[in-house]
């Protein structure tokens, strides 16, 4: 696949990611709300649902057995899955209305790493779009009724670590693509990473819970959306700039979740979330427009970058 094709198709996969993660976000809380299903058990089921898109992807592409593929694949998987387990611990120690805005800044880490280490260049319009998207992510992450004083503690350190881990995860996905690792291999290693941490999740909740069959069934139904969305993230990052893909997807997926929640649960967004929606849509539009304008620049004038093996 040519560089030009990559630039054109990252938008498609980013859009599919937003669709799957947006729908998943709207219904992901149902197992806990309906049956009191533990978050750690939701993680366990999510790890196993990753096997489905991994199997489909590996039917189309061979598994890359090079050490560099394992290095970047495991790095992406462990930072993502490890961050999820840290989030459970943080939420048990601190307030969600402070933790989620901190964690939501993870695209900042991705952008900084992409610009500094991958030498990605983004124009002025794209920079404005990135800033708007990042502000939107934080505003959307502020829950309704947030307020009150709270003391800092271990939860703040954990929130910062999660932010760094999830920001680095997107960087490692992009780095794997630039090293010529195909999407299926990267996602395969991410699946292995998630399964490796399943025993940790079981230990965190003190054993398997006693729950009706509807709880794991509903969890599997929602988490398969999460797993497929993760595959689309890998595919988008192998074709587009990490400094653009990460802010766009992290901003637009919650927007779709809010819209679906409004339609299904008739839950109105907060004032902050409404402002965030406007910024997310505006910032994402600017970034896509800037990328398309860059596409019009003759390739002879473009700086050479390693081609992704898609």
35, part of any domain: yes
Question: Taking 80 as the threshold, does the pLDDT of residue 137 lie above it?
Answer: yes
Provide the pLDDT for residue 269: 85
Per-residue pLDDT for 149 more than 70?
no
Structural domain tally of the chain? Answer: 1
pLDDT band at 1 (very low <50, low <70, confident <90, very high): very low
Q: Give 63-85 pLDDT, tens digit per residue.
A: 999 999 999 999 999 999 999 99
Asked, for residue 231, whether it belongs to a domain, the answer is yes
In angstroms, rounded to a whole number, what is the distance separating the alpha carbons of residues 307 and 310?
A: 9
More confident position, 153 or 236: 236
Residue 310 lies in a domain: no
Distances (CA, A) of 31 to 5, 41, 48, 310: 40, 10, 16, 36
Report the distance separating Cα 261 and Cα 88, nearest Å. Answer: 23
Q: Find tokens 């994402």 and name the residue.
A: 284
**Looking at residue 148, what is its pLDDT?**
55
Average pLDDT over residues 182-192: 98
The label of the residue with tokens 């990328």 reads 291
Q: How confident is the model at residue 309 (pLDDT cuts 50, 70, 90)?
A: very low
Range of the domain at 208: 3-147+155-301
Rounded to whole angstroms, the Cα distance separating 46 from 218 reads 11
- Sequence-separated (6 or more) residues with CB below 8 Å from residue 148: 95
Inside any domain, residue 306: no
pLDDT for 296 beyond 60 = no
| Residue 138 included in any domain | yes
pLDDT digits (tens, 9 = 90+) for 159-183: 999 999 999 999 999 999 999 999 9
Written in H, E and C, the secondary structure of the chain is: CCHHHHHHHHHHHHHHHHHHHHHHHHHCCHHHHHHCCCHHHHHHHHHHHCHHHHHHHHHHCCCCCCHHHHHHHHHHHHHHHHHHHHHHHHHHHCCHHHHHHHHCCHHHHHHHHHHHHCCCCCCHHHHHHHHHHHHHHHHHCCCCCCCCCCCCCHHHHHHHHHHHHHHHHHHHHHHHHHCCCCHHHHHHHHHHHHHHCHHHHHHHCCCCCCCCCHHHHHHHHHHHHHHHHHHHHHHHHCCCCHHHHHHHHHHHHHHHHHHHHHHHCCCCCCHHHHHHHHHHHHHHHHHHHHHHHHHCCCHHHCCCCCCCCC
In a domain, 43, yes or no: yes
pLDDT of residue 122: 84
Dist CA 29 CA 52 (whole Å): 22
- Please report which confidence band the pLDDT of residue 270 belongs to, taking 50, 70 and 90 as the band edges: confident
The CA distances from residue 208 to 59, 192, 205, in Å, are: 33, 21, 7
- Can you tell me the mean pLDDT for 191-217? 95
pLDDT of amino acid 10: 93
Q: With respect to residue 205, please indicate whether it lies within any of the assigned structural domains.
A: yes
Residue 131 lies in a domain: yes
pLDDT above 90: residue 4: no
84-129 per-position pLDDT tens digit: 999 999 988 888 888 999 999 999 999 999 999 999 988 888 899 9
Structure tokens that stand for 216 in this block: 């794991």
């Amino acid at each position: 696949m040519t560089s030009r094709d990559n630039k054109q198709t990252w938008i498609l996969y980013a859009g599919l990611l937003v669709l799957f993660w947006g729908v998943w976000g709207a219904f992901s809380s149902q197992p806990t709300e309906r049956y009191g299903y533990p978050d750690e058990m939701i993680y366990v089921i999510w790890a196993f649902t990753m096997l489905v898109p991994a199997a489909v992807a590996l039917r189309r592409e061979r598994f890359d057995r090079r050490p560099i593929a394992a290095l970047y694949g495991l790095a992406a998987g462990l930072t993502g899955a490890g961050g999820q387990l840290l989030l459970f611990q943080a939420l048990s120690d601190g307030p969600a209305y402070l933790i989620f805005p901190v964690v939501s800044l993870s695209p900042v880490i991705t952008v900084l790493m992409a610009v500094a280490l991958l030498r990605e260049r983004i124009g002025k319009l794209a920079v404005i779009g990135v800033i708007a998207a990042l502000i939107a992510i934080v505003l959307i992450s502020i829950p309704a009724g947030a307020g009150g004083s709270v003391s800092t503690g271990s939860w703040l350190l954990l929130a910062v670590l999660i932010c760094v881990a999830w920001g680095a995860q997107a960087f490692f996905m992009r780095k794997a693509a630039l090293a010529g690792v195909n999407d299926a291999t990267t996602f395969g290693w991410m699946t292995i990473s998630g399964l490796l941490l399943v025993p940790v999740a079981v230990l965190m909740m003190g054993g398997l819970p006693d729950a009706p069959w509807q709880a794991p069934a509903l969890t599997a139904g929602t988490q398969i959306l999460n797993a497929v969305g993760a595959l689309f993230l890998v595919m988008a990052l192998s074709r587009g700039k990490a400094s653009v893909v990460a802010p766009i997807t992290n901003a637009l997926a919650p927007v779709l979740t809010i819209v679906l929640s409004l339609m299904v649960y008739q839950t109105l967004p907060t004032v902050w979330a409404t402002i965030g929606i406007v910024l997310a849509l505006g910032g994402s539009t600017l970034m896509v427009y800037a990328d398309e304008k860059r596409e019009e620049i003759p390739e002879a004038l473009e700086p050479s970058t390693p081609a992704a093996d898609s």
